[in-house]
Structure 1
Amino acid sequence: MERILMQIYVKGSAEAVELYQKAFNAVLGYNVKNENGTFYHSELDVYGQILSVAERSDDDNIVTGNIMQFCLQFSKEEEDLLKKAYDTLSDNAKILFPLGPCDYSAAAADLIDKFGVRWCFFLG
């Protein structure tokens, strides 16, 4: 196996790619754009992992709904990266668990961003 990547289908993929680049200091790698400037496929390097973002069309019968959550565990020394990701993605998001301590971490959060993608962040 060469790799595993996380794939997200959203409406507004160009804006989503910009937001995730900002949230995770991500670098845009291989990508293919649609004629309208949205992404047919994009690969963002998020801390050494690949987050792929593509445009979801209105007639897309393949993507049936979001039943996944992407969890990123940060080391205690990376609390600033966790806070940056949370602060960036929490704009216009549904906050399920605001950033704060919980039973298993000194800092954790759970949210659904404005593109409908669910994220959890926590310190290990």
Structure 2
Amino acid sequence: MLVTHIYFNGECKQAIKLYKQAFGATVQTLMEDSDQSLVVHAEIMIHNELLMVNDFGNNDGFSKSGGYQLSVQFDDEAALKKAYTIIKEGSTTIEPLQPTDFSPCTVRFIDKFDVRWAFWV
């Protein structure tokens, strides 16, 4: 099993909330620090796939963001557009919502948490 793990550096709760709205993600595990201000470890399910997230790790002097992309295949264009509408606020567009050779609807962007996404049908 290969599981993606993303560090949000203090914005993990906001990211989980957004992904729950956009994807109908469900929280499987949520562990917080003693004052409940930061997420120590969380596991969420997006489209039946596990994503691990927390607020620590990207400020260790070694980690650099970039070099990855989370890709989500939707069953239909309406579901894709609904998720994109929710998650696109504060994002940076890489490729706009459009048809391509391989999909009737696709979009690539970086969300407000600096997570790179590709959506397609």
Common topology (TM > 0.5)? yes
User: Which whole-Å CA distance do the structure 2 matches of 1:62 and 1:29 have between them?
Assistant: 29
User: Which whole-Å CA distance do the structure 1 matches of 2:58 and 2:80 have between them?
Assistant: 33
Deviation string for 1:41-70 (max 9, x for gaps)? 111111211111111367423422221001
User: Which whole-Å CA distance do the structure 2 matches of 1:64 and 1:36 have between them?
Assistant: 26
Aligned ranges 1:1-124 → 2 under 5 Å: 3-11=1-9, 12-34=11-33, 35-56=35-56, 59-75=59-75, 78-123=76-121
How does the TM-score come out when normalised to structure 2? 0.87
% identical equivalent positions: 29
The structure whose residues are more often strand, as a share, is 1
Q: How large is the Cα RMSD of the aligned pairs?
A: 1.7
The residue type paired with residue 47 of structure 1 is H
How does the TM-score come out when normalised to structure 1? 0.85
Q: How many residues align?
A: 119
User: Which whole-Å CA distance do the structure 2 matches of 1:63 and 1:105 have between them?
Assistant: 33
Runs (4 or more) in structure 1 with deviation over 6 Å come to: none
Q: Which runs of 5+ in 2 are unaligned?
A: none
User: Secondary structure of 2:97's match?
Assistant: strand
